[in-house]
Amino acid sequence: MYKVFVNDKSLFLTNEVQKETDFQIFLLESIDIKKLIVKMYQNKISSAFLYHPDEKLIMKTLRAKIPVVKAGGGLVYNDEGKVLFIFRNGKWDLPKGGTEKNETMEQTAIREVEEETGVTGLSIVQKLQKTYHIFKRNGRYKLKVTYWYEMKTAYQGTPQGQIEEGIEKVEWINPNDISKVLENSYENIKLLFEEAKVKG
């Protein structure tokens, strides 16, 4: 199953028929995906399942209907086991950003963490899951696919938020405080921590 966020609402792409009654279920063959996304964006539908026996086909169809933007980001630990967070647009987030020409996703993720936080000496520990998020820019919907990597660093300096990206704060968060921080974060970031089994 894929979980795509439309704002902070969940659109599940699934090949299993769900029994929940509070979710609306739509069949891939009979739904206009763009209209469904617009309704979710307008808060007319809070969460939905999009069903087809081949869930990869649902994702392929979604990617064909909506332009895809690729990004790379990092879930970064320092030597004390603290996690690097940024604060912008009134919410806690993880550093990430769009890929540039001829970059691998790993290079994108490391470059974006460095640019947005000033933290250097990064190395990738492992690849984490991808997250999917639909956003609207200049009147057009886009599907952002973010490739996440767990990273570590021995960086000792003071992180600096990239002002031109609207980053107000960069902080190393103690693992015990992560669940509090996630209360004011995005659904895809919460999902990442659930999947990464980070103890908040």
pLDDT tens for the chain, 200 residues: list them: 899 999 889 999 999 876 665 678 899 999 999 999 999 999 999 889 999 999 999 999 999 999 999 999 999 999 999 999 999 999 999 999 999 999 999 999 999 999 999 999 999 999 999 999 999 989 999 999 999 999 999 999 999 999 999 999 999 999 999 999 999 999 999 999 987 654 44
Which range marks the domain in which residue 43 is found?
A: 2-65
Give residue 68's pLDDT. 95
Beta strands in the chain (DSSP E): 2-6, 9-14, 24-27, 47-51, 68-77, 83-88, 91-93, 96-98, 123-137, 140-152, 169-173
Domain termination site, one of 17, 47, 65? 65
How far is 124 from 145, CA to CA, in rounded Å?
A: 19
Give residue 18's pLDDT. 66
Q: Which amino acid is at 171?
A: E
Summary count for the chain: helices (H), strands (E)? 5, 11
Looking at the fold, whether 98 and 164 belong to one and the same domain comes out as: yes
Looking at the fold, whether 77 and 57 belong to one and the same domain comes out as: no
Looking at the fold, whether 165 and 137 belong to one and the same domain comes out as: yes
How far is 94 from 191, CA to CA, in rounded Å?
A: 12
184 Cβ partners below 8 Å, 6+ apart? 90, 91, 92
Looking at the fold, whether 55 and 125 belong to one and the same domain comes out as: no
Domain termination site, one of 23, 46, 65? 65
Give residue 195's pLDDT. 73
Looking at the fold, whether 84 and 170 belong to one and the same domain comes out as: yes
Give residue 200's pLDDT. 40
Check residue 82 and report its DSSP letter. Answer: -
- Domain total of the chain: 2
